[in-house]
């Protein structure tokens, strides 16, 4: 569709939503796009837990990324890299999932407690991965020293202000190990033998861990269960655990990609067994990856490059990211067949971009990758989707925190840098705990060529929320070539003032490095408040923008 055709269609189609009339007169120039925010149509509270993280013992995430050790020259707090702690506090980190991922179903929490010198060394789940960069030496990333264990992780959570989300091992430990882990973490001081062990390790008071995952990817690395088998395991694991007055929240392991039969068969079997076993969340994973020249379904071969990718892959990757919305609505619909009140919410506990090896900052960083402005777009549009479904999505955990997949940080020894994804989390933090508002975005699709044929991608994306008489609107413009002038109308309120923050880059391959850490960082932008209170803002090509609209 040509720009002029679009404008006509959008205005005709959105007639009922239009606020103010001045801009429809013949003298007024028409904008490229329109956003309508309904203050009278709240969707739900945006759970701060949507701004969650994921920490797995995988490559450079824990050893090098987080844990530098108490005796390190690198500034640290109790062995945890200080720069990371400070940066996580700034973005109001809400929750962190640990110890995996696939690693979780090979991990024994008992290996990571007590004096560090006495802890066992174990082969890491990822030791034989095909993706290891050439020449990766042995070290704790291959033979885990367990120096970062249960108490170190829970201390890391307290330092960063994050709630812990512990993932239990269903494939290779028992239900008893699960409830004893809960006992170790949550029993009142002096009440049990495990509470005494905790005290001996330096922590007398309980940690009061609320979120517990029951396995991970149980259809694959977590045990290769059928959904019916996993339902039986899940029910057995949660049938009895000590609660200690805590409102424990169990999270079940959801489908492989869009395999909806996993969700249907799991919930069906659980319903037959008499209920959902205090399930609080159903885990979804969605990674975006794309191919470089020629398509293949091979999980290993079929990924594109993190940086230096061909133009087509800009669009293809973002198209993959957009599939998140259907994943949410499809699973939600099926869950509603069994759980009519929708007591169980969605927990997207792994999401982000996944590229082929080659851009990692160090060869010990298995699945490490660079992050460009494209990843910032992916993060922004995904978080906007979560806000749009704030009534369904109770938590999400981007994969992973540092040095792995779509990280917020890259770190090696004393070097540390914030990625564009970090800046998106920083900008979007204003949405945490706010009320998501129904927001209608009308813009033309972005056209491109896929394998020589015409293809297209949704244009602007966005979401809005209200908190303390301020509306936060975040908008992504995935078009790397065109700015989009947009009129923004608020139904049910008038705007007094607007403050704009923009993250954008002219070069779609732009990224931050240890040598050039500020190549991409947020800057102030501008918008105009016109007659009738309509705000006009031009969204730069390849950009993520935040508008803070103070209401009259
Ligand atoms: O995040 C890397 C891996 O991706 C996780 O361990 C696993 O759950 C998923 O397949």
54 Cα nearest atom in ligand 1: 1
Residue 31 pLDDT: 84
pLDDT in tens, 215-249: 999 999 999 999 999 999 999 999 999 999 999 99
Q: Is 350 a catalytic residue?
A: yes
Euclidean distance between CA atoms 267 and 228, whole angstroms: 9
Is the distance from the beta carbon of residue 368 to the nearest atom of ligand 1 less than 6 Å?
Answer: no
Mean pLDDT of the chain: 93
pTM: 0.94
Q: Is the CB of 350 under 6 A from ligand 1?
A: yes
pLDDT in tens, 488-501: 999 999 999 999 99
Note the pLDDT of residue 291: 60
Indicate if ligand 1 lies below 6 Å from the C-beta of 105.
no
Q: Read off the DSSP letter of residue 22.
A: G
Classify the phi-psi angles of 204: left when phi > 0, otherwise alpha if psi is within -120 to 50, otherwise beta. alpha
Tens of pLDDT, residues 365-401: 999 999 999 999 999 999 999 999 999 999 999 999 9
Alpha carbon distance 106, 172 (integer Å): 6
Closest-lying ligand 1 atom to the alpha carbon of residue 103: 6
What does the pLDDT look like over 34-73, one tens digit per residue? 999 999 999 999 999 999 999 999 999 999 999 999 999 9
For 409-431, what is the mean pLDDT? 98
Q: Is the pLDDT of residue 257 over 60?
A: yes
Instruction: Please compute Rg for the chain using Cα positions.
Output: 24
Task: Report the separation in Å between the CA atom of 80 and the middle of ligand 1, taken as the mean of its atom positions.
Answer: 23
pLDDT tens, residue by residue, 478-526? 999 999 999 999 999 999 999 999 999 999 999 999 999 999 999 999 9
Kindly name the residue from 36, 312, 325, 350 that is annotated as catalytic: 350
Q: What is the pLDDT of residue 276?
A: 79
Q: What is the pLDDT of residue 290?
A: 67
Domain borders along the chain are: 3-44+436-551, 47-433
Nearest by Cα to 345 from 239, 249, 248: 249
Digit-coded pLDDT (tens) for 115-173: 999 999 999 999 999 999 999 999 999 999 999 999 999 999 999 999 999 999 999 99
- CATH fold label, 3-44+436-551: Immunoglobulin-like (2.60.40)
Quick count: other Cβ atoms within 10 Å of Cβ 294? Answer: 8
User: Which of residues 26 and 298 earns the better pLDDT score?
Assistant: 298
Which ligand 1 atom is the nearest neighbour of the CA of 56?
A: 6
- Confirm or reject: Cβ of 349 under 6 Å from ligand 1: no
pLDDT of residue 274: 80
Is 70 a known active-site residue? no
What count of Cα atoms within 13 Å lies in the side-chain half-sphere of residue 69? 13
- 409 or 7, which is more confident: 409
Closest CA to 276 of 266, 284, 286: 266
CA-proximal residue: ligand 1, atom 3 (nearest) = 101
Any atom of ligand 1 within 6 Å of the Cβ of 164: no
**Domain 47-433 CATH class label:** alpha beta
pLDDT at 5 over 90: no
- Which candidate in 56, 152, 180, 217 is catalytic? 217
> Is any atom of ligand 1 closer than 6 Å to the C-beta of 217?
yes
Q: Is the CB of 436 under 6 A from ligand 1?
A: no
């Amino acid at each position: 569709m040509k720009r002029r055709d679009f404008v006509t269609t959008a205005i005709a189609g959105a007639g009922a939503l239009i606020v103010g009339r001045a801009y429809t007169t013949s003298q007024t120039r028409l904008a490229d796009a329109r956003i309508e925010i309904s203050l009278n149509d709240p969707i739900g509270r945006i759970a701060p837990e949507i701004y969650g993280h994921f920490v797995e013992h995988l490559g450079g995430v824990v050893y090098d990324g987080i844990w530098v050790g108490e005796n390190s020259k690198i500034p640290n707090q109790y062995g945890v890299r200080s720069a990371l702690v400070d940066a996580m506090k700034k973005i109001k980190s809400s929750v962190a999932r640990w110890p995996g991922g696939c690693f979780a179903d090979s991990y024994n929490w008992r290996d990571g407690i007590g004096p560090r010198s006495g802890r066992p060394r174990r082969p890491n789940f990822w030791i034989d991965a095909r993706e290891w960069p050439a020449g990766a030496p042995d070290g704790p990333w291959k033979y885990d020293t367990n120096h970062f264990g249960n108490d170190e992780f829970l201390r890391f959570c307290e330092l960063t202000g994050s709630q812990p989300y512990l993932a239990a091992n269903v494939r290779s430990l028992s239900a008893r190990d699960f409830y004893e882990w809960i006992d170790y973490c949550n029993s009142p001081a002096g009440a049990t033998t495990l509470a005494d062990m905790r005290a001996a390790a330096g922590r007398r008071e309980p940690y009061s861990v609320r979120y517990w995952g029951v396995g991970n990817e149980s259809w694959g690395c977590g045990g290769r269960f059928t959904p019916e088998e996993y339902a039986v395991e899940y029910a057995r694991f949660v049938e009895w655990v000590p609660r200690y007055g805590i409102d424990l929240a169990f999270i079940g392991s959801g489908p492989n990609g869009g395999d909806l039969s996993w969700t249907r068969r799991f919930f069906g079997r659980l319903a037959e067994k008499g209920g959902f076993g205090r399930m609080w969340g159903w885990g979804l994973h969605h990674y975006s990856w794309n191919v470089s020249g020629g398509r293949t379904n091979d999980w290993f071969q079929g990924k594109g490059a993190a940086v230096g990718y061909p133009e087509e892959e800009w669009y293809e990757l973002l198209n993959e990211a957009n599939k998140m919305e259907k994943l949410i609505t499809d699973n939600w619909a099926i869950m509603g067949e069994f759980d009519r009140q929708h007591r169980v919410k969605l927990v997207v506990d792994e999401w982000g971009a996944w590229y082929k090896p080659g851009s990692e900052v160090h060869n010990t960083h298995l699945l490490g990758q660079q992050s460009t402005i494209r990843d910032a777009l992916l993060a922004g549009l995904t978080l906007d989707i979560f806000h749009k479904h704030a009534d369904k999505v109770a938590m999400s955990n981007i994969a992973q925190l540092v040095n792995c997949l779509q990280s917020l940080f890259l770190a090696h020894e004393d070097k540390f840098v914030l990625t564009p994804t970090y800046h998106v989390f920083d900008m979007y933090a204003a949405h945490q705990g706010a009320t998501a508002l129904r927001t209608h975005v009308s813009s033309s699709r972005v056209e491109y060529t896929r394998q020589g044929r015409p293809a297209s991608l949704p244009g602007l994306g966005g979401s809005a929320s209200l908190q303390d008489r301020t509306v936060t609107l975040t908008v992504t413009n995935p078009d790397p070539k065109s700015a989009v002038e947009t009129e923004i109308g608020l139904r049910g309120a008038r705007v007094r003032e607007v403050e704009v923050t923009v993250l954008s880059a002219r070069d779609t391959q732009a990224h931050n490095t240890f040598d050039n850490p500020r190549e991409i960082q947020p800057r102030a932008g501008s918008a105009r408040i016109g007659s009738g209170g309509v705000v006009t803002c031009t969204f730069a090509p390849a950009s993520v923008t935040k508008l803070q609209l103070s209401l009259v």
